Amino acid sequence: MRRACVALGLPRATAYRHLHPRCGPCARPRRASHRRLSPAERETVLEVLDSERFLDQPPREVFATLLGEGQFFCSVRTMYRILRERGAVHDRRDGGVRSLV
């Protein structure tokens, strides 16, 4: 394998990746993380993010505020992930359009 890769100018790692791909029909499915939030925990995060208090704040500010109060639900990235799955990464107020008046 080494001589063939040198002759082709191809890194051996690339050749092995093509010979033994990890994705595709023979790949094992990814296991869910043991640290994944339960559906109830995810719902709690959504309730906090959609509460009147935090409705106009991005997840980064919500996280900082809650952390300052000694509360931790999940990371900022997880907050964004939960909102994205719900299709609510944009403005979360009713109507979804911010008034300029």
Rounded to whole angstroms, the Cα distance separating 35 from 74 reads 10
Determine the longest span between alpha carbons in the chain, in angstroms: 70
Rounded to whole angstroms, the Cα distance separating 28 from 81 reads 24
Rounded to whole angstroms, the Cα distance separating 87 from 38 reads 19
Cα 40 → chain centroid: 18
pTM value is 0.61
Q: What is the pLDDT of residues 51-98, one digit of tens each?
A: 999 988 999 999 999 999 999 999 999 999 999 998 877 665 655 544
Rounded to whole angstroms, the Cα distance separating 59 from 87 reads 14
